[in-house]
Structure 1
Amino acid sequence: MFLFAAQLHLSGKTASPESGRALALMPLAGLWYWMVCLPLFRFLAFRWVWRLAFWWRFLWRLARMELHLTPTHPDGVGGLGYLEVVQNHLAPLAFAISLLVAAGFAEEMSEGASFDPIYLATAIIVILDIVLFLGPPCFFAFKLMECRERGLRDYTVLAARYVEDFERKWFGEASPDREPLLGTPDLQSLADLGNSVGVVRNMRLAPVSIRLLAIILAAALLPMPPLFLFKYPVAEMAQKLFMKLTGL
């Protein structure tokens, strides 16, 4: 591994000597980079790739099992809401991927490279992070769709039966033994049944919420804004802002 790393050539200020040079001619900092830092980085990168692949395979197999999903579960995804908690812990990895790409662009632009590829790279990074970290929970889409349809069918039938009995009791012919309307639990039960039907109707098709999407997007985009300093220096921007505010 050390010899392979030592012969690899990288562009930029961190470039290694040409492949024909011996390791003995390398400075101590270069040897430390090639023999310690780069192999450690590759180990961690492949380790996370393996863990992501394992997580994808686990969710894929889990989605193919016979799951007992509850359509009225408060998490809105039939009881799979905890998967979103797991996905939240992957946000630092999305940040690390974007940080690595941003560092590479910063090194190239410091040597005079164009700024324009940043926009396309940012869009690609965002799409890649969404696929990597929000794709696996979508394996449960068909299961959750089936659960919602089943819940709407069952709870709609139940609601119809309850409403018919409610109307028959309170809007039918008056009976001498009818209980007082004030304080009756029937109204609260009717409201609770309506809330249950609303929970089923609003089920999501994947354990992915707006909050999780915002966290992944923020982690992917956070390393990119400092790159704009190469195109818009802080001193120049401050001077232009001062001139616009003061009219000078």
Structure 2
Amino acid sequence: MSRSTRTADLNLQLRNKTRLFFLLVLTLLASCTSKPEPALPALTFKNTVVSLTFDDGDADNYAVRDILAENNLRATFYIVSGFTGTNGYMTEDQLRDLYNDGNEIGGHTLSHSNVPDLSGADLEREICQDRQNLLAHGFAVNSFAYPYGHYDDESKQMVVDCGYNNARGVSGGPDTIPPVDMYVLNAMPYIVKDTRFPKMTRYVTEVENDGGGWVIFVFHHVCDGCNEYAIKLNVFDQFAKWLGEQQANGLVVKTMSEVANPK
């Protein structure tokens, strides 16, 4: 190897060592001057109750069964009994699985009718027959949800006459505890396909920060973009785990009947 080649080699090695030295110095400086990420403040809940509700009895709702159980949560499933067991809807056995886990089965009319459009015997059939069908399956049925959130004085009275002790709308939330009107319970805005995990947690924490109340969530489909009114299973899983953890910090999660009519 020539002398000039050896000199070039030595110079290259020196430059590499110099670069390495400066990289080490910069790394040490950064570690000395950077501040650790601040810890998230511990959450404490004193006056907030959450209810998870699912409308219609869609078949994909069954996917949340294990998630609810794993996180010590119970939800209310509002069932259109005339659709039970048909294509796209849960079967009677699936509803019984949910019920046996401690979840609540509620009514949502016989055929998902817009109840203000009905009156008399037709209205009675939609609301009362729906409840009778669910009772015949062996479920305790006390909670009702108005399809589309629509109601009028006659339909509201029919809910009472058919034996329900509470009824949920789809807007105006959060509600108070106790509610002003047990037959028009106010829910948070619909959960839709672009609703993210942080937004759902904010619904809960903001209610607590405002003095507390009843945070009623309304879910429909559980899937990845199959419907405008859908939540991804992994997003629901993340939210359920968060709710489960917050129960140790005082957050209360109950079914609709447990809150509306405490024993």
What TM-score do you get using the length of structure 1 for normalisation?
0.21
Larger radius of gyration: 1
- Length-normalised TM-score, structure 2: 0.20
Q: Larger relative CO (CA 8 A, sep 6+): 1 or 2?
A: 1
Task: Indicate the structure with greater helix content.
Answer: 1
Greater strand fraction, Structure 1 or Structure 2:
2
